[in-house]
Structure 1
Amino acid sequence: MPRSSPPTAFEATPSAGEYRQDIEIVRRTLALHPGVFRYQTPRKLSQHLARLERDFVGAGSLEQRFLVLSRFMATIRCGHSQCNPYNQSKSVVQSLFERPTKLPLEFDWIAGRMVVLADRSGTGLLAGTEILTIDGEAAPRLLERLVPYARADGSNDAKRVAQMAMRNIDRWETFDIYQGLILPPRPAGFHLSYRTPDGRLGAGDFKGVTAEQRRANRHTLETDGTSEPFWTWEMEDGVAILTMPSWVMYNSTWKWEPWLADRLASLRGAKGLVIDLRENEGGNECGNAIFARLSDKDLQFEGYRQLVRYRRSPQELDAYLDTWDASFRAIGENATDAGGGFYELGREGSDTIPSITPRITVPVAALIGPACSSATFSFARRARESGLVRLFGEPSGGNLRGINGNGYFFVRLPASGLEFDMPIIGNFAQTPQPDRGVVPDVLITRSIADIAAKRDTPKAAAKAWVATL
């Protein structure tokens, strides 16, 4: 039986040969990855794999192996290929993510500068304070060290930077994970130097916080297993504000469709609707329920080719390929040979969105940003293509050339006990596209001054637009 977690004190430490077998599983599994050569050549992949094997086998700890494997996965330049903290074993989670090593701040990166959103240390740093150094290391230098571990599609570096912000909206923040392994606090805590919004310089020691303390201040609800709404609907100056921090509905029992339908039906007396997707990576195609009410006829969108790299997954690998749908193992059996090692499933299923009533007759705007990289990337793309939703904010995550997803194998490595997510369907654009995300109709970025003054300029601009039509 394959080992599913790192060895305990009562088990033998895996041998170098067993760790090499982990990498052989990585190598063979990536032959099934539809986007592995989207942004790199076979020669470059071979070089990355050779380096991975050398460093993974030579690593002296689970922490080092996790970092080595995570950095390798980032070289694929796929926003859905990662060592996913949500899919690791309990022992890996406890060992790597539940450490009291977290910086007691919430912050964003503004033009490469670390800017405080909230101080959880009790010291009283104001929003808009810039962190200059952490234990003597310049904050921009720390960002440079962290970005190579971030997952994003192609050259969409804004998505990589956004992952290393700490907004406290996820159970495990990407920054917390990698900062805790790369730059943990000293016994006295973190020594920070900073500049306040009024220009004063300061410094001090800040004690690291635990995972429990971090979660106590989390801004979003846990979606797994909840029956409670995790979206909000508010009226501001006659404009409806729909905030949707996640579309991940797979393990939720909340009936979001009737909740959303009831609120959209109430819009007749409103000036307009603003949908806030800025913290939303994606999940289910919940945005289709909005598009379906924006037109009196079915909506047609140019589809992406859906390609896979295998007829059936190799049976000798199946023990390591976990998934929720057994049909994924034979997803290419009835596909058309597209040449070049690909099999075509067809266009993505949401090319056509059937119209439903009641229609939304008020203007609709959406706030987007680099986090929008899966279903929310698709929503932003359709908004630009249709012109039915005006986009405000910053360019999305994802990539117009196509992203990988729709189905996954959770690859579990027996010797190390580590897991990585591997998408099995690649969406490829029918016509040449730029190597970037969706650029909003109205490009607005937040400034340090906005943060200090607690101004939400993209939201204000969107509200003003819908209110004046």
Structure 2
Amino acid sequence: MSRSLLPFALLMALPCAAQPVTVEIDMAPLLADNLVLTEGAEIGVRGDTAPLAWDRSLPLTDEDGDGIYATTLDFPDGTGLVEYKAVVQAPDGELLWEPGDNRVLVPGRMDADRRAFSSPQTSLPVRTVSSRQLGEDLALFRNALLALHPGLFLHNTETELERASNRLAGQARALAQRYGEAIPVSEVYLMMSEAIAAIRDGHTQLNPYNQAAYTRATLFAQADRVPFAFRLVGDRMIVTGDATPSMALPTGTEVLSLDGQLISDVIETLMAYMSADGSNDGKRRNLLSVTGLPPAEAFDIVYALRYQPEGTLDLQLRLPDGTEADLTVPLVTRDARRATLLERNPTLPRSDDDLLQFRILEDDTAYLYIGSFATFQMETDYAAWLTGAFRQMNERGAERLVVDLRGTPGGMDEAAALLFSHLLQEPVEVDFWSSTTAYDRMPDALRPHVRSWTSDFYDLTDRVTPNGDGTFSLRARPPITVAPAPDAFRGRVAVLVDAAASSATFYLARQIKRTGAALLVGQETGGNLRGLNGGQIGFLTLPETGLVVDIPLFGSRPPEPGEDRGVLPDVLVEPDADAVIAGRDPELEAALAALRSH
């Protein structure tokens, strides 16, 4: 199939000549946090480009004793972006790294980075690329998709993908005409997000967590965020947290428009930039809700790039008492919003460890909340916590259990499997979908641009067999019998799910539904019964823009093609905006009613 993804290319428009860059760091915030600089401690910087290195510090000095430590770094001619961090090294060698994202220096475009210790970086030279450089990055993107992606046609026809490719080419030409040879990378990010979303695969995305420090600092850390958290229920935006200075948005307020744009129109526009599996629009809407807690959320990024709000935001509101009002609020940074939300609501999760909760409700019903299966990001020993929770509920004689997986996008398969074994009362057979890949050896031209968490994905020749159509299959996994865990729950179980449930959570919901291990309550999950792509992700770095594209390397397919949807719950609870406004939890209410009726 001919899929022309653009005759243009992208390169960073930076002068060739480098120059010295001064780094000045006010250490007062460290002292304000009651962290004393011990006598003999060394303040320094480490980074990825000489004269900096990540394994040794280049010292900073405070010549006048004002608490501001400084040095001037001389970079070689032609140096590009430099990532660095401040480090405090105690006399015994212990290191205290500056928290947050890496800082960025742009030799030749900035002469200094003057700031406080641990402050976010919000002012950097605009990164631009030429039309030629844009074409080079997009050609690399096209080649990587064709060579590596296992499911380009899982949810699309050849004609649909050709149409998306042509649209991308037209958008690139329009950017070249509008900006000449200085196309902002922010415009490329938006354009690429839409093109990637057209693949209709939940694991193919510009994942904000995998972007370089420059992209994070320039696109994700600006004062362009709405000063509230909200939940989307259909096309209705319901406030769940208020970060406005005057506390003008009580929980349950409905936002009717943003800067004169109806919420329904905004959501319809932004849906085109959301990566989800197949026709699962419930997942796309779910991605557009904002909790205000993670470092990057889809609505924040795409709304700011698409609508480019500045300074303030005009809101049309319907307050919880039904009255309508107009309000102008200041836009904020993600960090300021998060800090305000946490200050005003101490019950909000402050870390991934807070996404694990266990308690006993009234009438001896146990409640278990698991907000993430990404247990590698937790300090908590997940296995010990989970087995301990089930041991306690059994010792308490709980007769019913509600497992709340709402808002849980996925994570480690092993973590989901451990939960599954604790829901069983008898052994069950678990099946596995077949695994496929688009390549056996990664083309040499792509290798320098693709990384992952292991390096064994470059050469799969000893793990795959050819299918005869240019694709390859990994060794099939036969069904296995899963026995109940020693502390498995002995009563009735309901599991709450919603459209967030993808990847590992989707597979778990599918097995629960297939085996009858518990009652599924809530909404259709994310994911797709036609199959998923994922397993291992290749991180494709486009060298000129610096953008990083997640490309799944393996596909999972059912024995027979499934429907183009997620897993349907046993008890469907339609999203209810009025219930959210009133502070009710219809899903939990339905689960408790179903458990008590048996």
State the TM-score, normalized to the length of structure 1: 0.92
Matches within 5 A, 1:332-411: 332-347=461-476, 352-411=481-540
Which of the residues 273, 280, 290 maps onto 1:149?
273
Q: Distance in 1 between matches of 2:366 and 2:498?
A: 20
1:326 partner SS: coil
Show the counterpart of 1:231: 356
Q: Corresponding residue for 1:312?
A: 441
> Any unmatched runs of 5+ in structure 2?
1-77, 83-103, 110-126, 177-182, 343-347
Q: 1:289-304 maps to which residues of 2 (within 5 A)?
A: 289-295=418-424, 297-304=426-433
* Distance 1:3-1:43 versus aligned 2 partners, 3 A rule: farther
CA separation of 1:304/1:329 partners in 2, compared to 1, >3 Å: closer, same or farther? same
Offset at residue 410 of structure 1 (A): 0.5
1:287 aligns with: 416
Q: 2:557 aligns with which of 428, 438, 444?
A: 428
From 35, 41, 66, give the equivalent of 2:189: 66
Tell me what 1:272 maps to: 400
Contact 1:107 1:114 in 2 (8 A): yes
The question of 1:116 aligning with 2:267 is answered no
What are the ranges of 5 or more consecutive residues in structure 1 without an aligned counterpart? none
Residue 239 of structure 2 aligns to a residue whose secondary structure is: strand
1:33, 1:308 within 8 Å by CA — same for their partners in 2?
yes
CA distance in 1 between partners of 2:213 and 2:335 (Å): 16
Measure the CA separation in 1 of the matches of 2:171 and 2:106: 22
More displaced stretch, 14-23 vs 371-380: 14-23
The aligned residue for residue 25 of structure 2 is none
CA contact (8 A) 1:309 1:343 kept: yes
**Is it true that 1:41 corresponds to 2:41 in the alignment?**
no
Range moving further from structure 2, 353-362 or 65-74: 353-362
Q: Number of aligned residue pairs: give it.
A: 464
Q: What whole-Å deviation, never above 9, does each CA across 1:158-183 have from its counterpart, x for those lacking one?
A: 10011111123422111111111122
Whether the aligned pair in 2 keeps the contact of 1:81 and 1:423 (CA below 8 Å) is yes
1:347 Cα deviation from its structure 2 partner? 4.1
Q: Is this contact kept in 1: 2:428–2:482, CA < 8 A?
A: yes
Using the alignment, how far apart are the partners of 2:419 and 2:371 within structure 1?
A: 16
Supply the distance in 1 between the matched residues of 2:468 and 2:433 (Cα, whole angstroms). Answer: 17
Counterpart of 2:361, as a letter, is: E
Q: Give the drift of 1:101.
A: 0.9
Q: Which deviates further from its counterpart, 45-54 or 362-371?
A: 45-54
Which amino acid in the other structure matches residue 87 of structure 1? N
Q: 1:441 is matched with which residue?
A: 570
Q: Is the 8 A contact 1:229 1:256 kept in 2?
A: no
Higher RCO by CA contacts (8 Å cutoff, separation 6 or greater): 1
Please show how residues 159-170 of structure 1 align to structure 2 within 5 Å.
Answer: 159-170=283-294
Whichever residue aligns with residue 132 of structure 2, its letter is G
Percent sequence identity is 31
SS of the residue 1:106 aligns to = strand
Q: What is the rounded CA distance, in whole Å, between the counterparts of 2:159 and 2:202 in structure 1?
A: 22
Match for residue 108 of structure 2?
A: 10
Residue type at the aligned position of 1:190: L
1:180-329, aligned counterparts within 5 Å? 180-187=304-311, 189-216=312-339, 217=341, 219-223=348-352, 228=353, 230-237=355-362, 238-268=364-394, 269-285=397-413, 286-295=415-424, 297-329=426-458
Q: Which among 101, 113, 119 is matched to residue 224 of structure 2? A: 101
Secondary structure at 2:403's aligned position in 1? strand
Computed over aligned residues only, the root mean square deviation of the Cα atoms, in angstroms, reads: 2.4
Q: Is the 8 A contact 2:402 2:493 kept in 1?
A: yes
Residue 262 of structure 2 corresponds to 138
2:541 maps to 1:412: yes
Compare 126-135 and 148-157 and name the one that shifted more.
126-135
Alpha-carbon spacing, 1:169–1:299, altered in 2? closer, same or farther (3 Å) = farther
Post-superposition shift, 1:43? 4.2
Q: Counterpart amino acid of 1:246?
A: S
Tell whether 2:139 aligns with 1:24: yes
Is the Cα–Cα contact under 8 Å of residues 246 and 281 in structure 1 kept in the other structure?
yes
CA distance in 2, matches of 1:335, 1:96: 40
Q: Deviations over 1:79-137 (max 9, x none)?
A: 11100100001110000011111111222222312222222213433333221111111
Write the distance in 1 (CA, Å) between the matches of 2:538 and 2:522. 33
For the structure 1 residues 356 and 199, does the alpha-carbon distance in structure 2 shift closer, same or farther, using more than 3 Å as the test?
closer
Structure 1 residues 15-24 or 370-379, which shifts more? 15-24
- Note closer, same or farther for the CA distance 1:447–1:295 as it changes in structure 2 (3 Å cut): closer
Shift of 1:327: 0.9
Q: Which moved more, 1:49-58 or 1:191-200?
A: 49-58
C-alpha distance in 2 between matches for 1:42 and 1:222: 43
Secondary structure, in 3 states, of the residue corresponding to 2:528? coil
Shift of 1:451: 1.6
- Contact map agreement 2:79 2:107 (CA 8 A) in 1: no
Note if contact 2:80-2:107 (Cα within 8 Å) is conserved in structure 1. Answer: no
- Contact 2:256 / 2:316 at 8 angstroms: preserved in 1? yes
1:297, distance to aligned residue in structure 2 (A): 5.0
TM-score by length of 2: 0.73
- SS of the aligned residue for 2:446 comes to helix
Distance in 1 between the 2:308 and 2:431 partners?
47
Amino acid at match of 1:29: A
Q: Following the alignment from structure 2 to structure 1, what is the Cα–Cα distance between the partners of residues 273 and 378?
A: 29
Q: Give me the whole-angstrom Cα distance separating, in 1, the residues matched to 2:426 and 2:365.
A: 26
Change (3 A) 1:332 1:38: farther
Counterparts of 2:444 and 2:431, CA distance in 1: 36
Question: In the aligned structure 2, how far is the partner of 1:449 from the partner of 1:328?
Answer: 49
Which amino acid counterpart does residue 412 of structure 2 have in structure 1? Answer: N
**1:92 aligned to 2:218?**
no
- Please say if residues 205 and 549 of structure 2, whose CA atoms lie closer than 8 Å, have aligned partners that are also in contact: yes
Structure 1 residue 389 displacement after superposition: 1.0
- Paired amino acid for 1:415: E
Q: Distance in 2 between matches of 1:377 and 1:174?
A: 20
Structure 1 Cα separation of the partners of residues 506 and 211 of structure 2: 26
Given that 2:80 and 2:106 are in contact with CA atoms closer than 8 Å, whether structure 1 keeps it comes out as no
Describe the shift of the 1:348–1:281 C-alpha distance in structure 2 as closer, same or farther (beyond 3 A). farther
Please give the alpha-carbon distance, in whole angstroms, between the structure 1 residues aligned to 2:354 and 2:430.
30
Is the Cα contact below 8 Å between 1:2 and 1:319 reproduced in 2?
no
Larger radius of gyration: 2
SS in 2 for 1:242: strand
